[in-house]
């Protein structure tokens, strides 16, 4: 069955890639595309599901219309504040939503591997995250890096905000065993690099994913949209789409 998709944020880098792949895909049809100033209601009404890659301020109006029209929604936007995150969680009680910091199959494998490695290695290894993106990215750290930090904090059994150390400067003192270092680099046209370091005494494990094309994210988001049309209301991740949940 052909899935008709609406692309919200269609003039952005990801939006343009999504539109192109949706037009080329044999199982998808690009029903509509919208960006700031366009008729969002008409765009959503024309589709079976929508995919949003826009500024985080666009998510709430997209959610409200998606609920009204009962159109499943894939959210790829990052940088939401707590109120916006709460709105997403509330909407998911009445609407199927996939909300993921990264739609790459490879990155979602990295999430899975990070959880496994953290569980196996335990507290004897210090954990640091380094991410790099293009110079135009407006939020830091990336949503993907935050999710990696959340996974490490979950395994550790600690709240994210209590253990994340965003960068270091000056006389910080010795590193504590509990902290998780988070470091954001920006420059050039880097699509997205993420490395999780597990540093022990006499050995180090590095888990790295490097994206060289936005197509990997777009393909995953389109896959999520097709999957979502047959799901009940709920808040899903790309781990659900790929069957990677433990």
Residues marked active site are found at 133, 137
CA distances from 180 to 22, 97, 109, 124, 183 (A): 38, 30, 20, 13, 10
CA distances from 232 to 53, 70, 88, 224 (A): 22, 11, 16, 14
Instruction: Determine the Cα–Cα distance for residues 139 and 79; give it in Å rounded to an integer.
Output: 6
Query: Which letter, b or e, does each residue of 188-218 get, where b requires 16 or more Cβ atoms within 10 Å of its Cβ?
Result: eebbbbbbbbbeeeeeeeebebebeebebbb
Neighbouring CB atoms inside 10 A of 3's CB total 21
Contact between 134 and 189 (Cβ < 8 Å): yes
Residue 217 dihedral angles phi and psi, to the nearest 5°: -70, -45
How far does Cα 223 stand from its chain's mean position?
A: 14
Q: Degrees (nearest 5) of the Cα angle 158, 108, 35?
A: 105
Contact between 118 and 151 (Cβ < 8 Å): yes
């Amino acid at each position: 069955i052909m899935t008709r998709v609406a692309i919200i944020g269609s003039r952005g880098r990801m939006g343009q890639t999504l539109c192109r792949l949706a037009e080329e895909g044999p199982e998808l049809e690009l029903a509509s595309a919208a960006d700031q100033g366009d008729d969002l209601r008409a765009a959503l009404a024309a589709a079976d599901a929508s995919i949003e890659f826009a500024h985080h301020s666009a998510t709430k109006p997209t959610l409200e219309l998606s609920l009204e029209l009962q159109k499943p929604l894939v959210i790829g936007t990052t940088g939401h504040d707590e109120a916006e995150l709460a709105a997403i969680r509330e909407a998911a009680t009445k609407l199927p939503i996939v909300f993921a910091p990264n739609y790459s199959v490879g990155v979602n494998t990295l999430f899975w591997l990070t959880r496994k490695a953290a569980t196996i290695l335990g507290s004897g290894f210090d954990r640091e995250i380094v991410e790099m993106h293009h110079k135009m990215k407006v939020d830091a750290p990336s949503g993907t890096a935050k999710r990696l930090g959340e996974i490490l904090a979950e395994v550790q059994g600690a709240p994210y905000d209590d253990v994340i150390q965003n960068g270091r400067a000056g006389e910080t003192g010795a590193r504590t065993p509990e902290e998780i270092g988070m470091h954001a680099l920006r420059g050039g046209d880097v699509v997205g690099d993420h490395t999780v370091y597990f540093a022990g005494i006499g050995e180090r494990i590095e888990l790295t994913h490097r994206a060289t094309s936005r197509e990997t994210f777009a393909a995953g988001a389109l896959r999520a949209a097709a999957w979502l049309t047959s799901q009940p209301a709920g808040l899903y991740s790309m781990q659900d789409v790929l069957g990677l949940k433990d």
